[in-house]
Amino acid sequence: MRLTTRLMKVASWLLVQRAVREGDMAPESALDASYRLGAEAEADRNPGAEPLPIPLAELLARSERLFERVRHLDARMYADGVVDRAPPHPVLAQMERLKDAYGV
């Protein structure tokens, strides 16, 4: 259950980023807490339970690393409530300046 929940949170976050990139959602809307990845709640570990099978334990560990990497991206992209907009492509900016200068 922890594995699927964690992966669905990451998938949902990625879908929001895609919606922003494609213009279906305003970047400011992505700042809403419901779209952000917060710190994951510590899983309720049952010390008396049987240990997980090794492949499942490995998947859990990998999903934790993935979640933390994406959470780090989220924190950097939306630090202090500011949408991190990529600067314009330098070549395209130069092309626009040339067009303006030569009236093309």
Task: State whether the Cα torsion 86-31-80-41 is positive or negative.
Answer: negative
Would you give the distance in Å from CA 84 to the centre of its chain?
12
Q: What is the mean pLDDT of the chain?
A: 83
CATH number, domain of 26, equals 1.10.8.930
Distance CA 42, CA 39 (A): 9
At 74, which amino acid appears?
D
pLDDT, position 68: 94
- What pTM did the predictor assign? 0.67
Whether the per-residue pLDDT at 47 is higher than 70: the answer is no
Neighbours of 64 (CB within 10 A): 15
For residue 74, the SS3 value is: helix
Q: 9-19: per-residue pLDDT in tens?
A: 999 999 999 99
Structural domain of residue 24, as residue ranges? 2-102
Domain count, the chain: 1
Q: How confident is the model at residue 70 (pLDDT cuts 50, 70, 90)?
A: very high
At 10, which amino acid appears?
V
pLDDT, position 48: 60
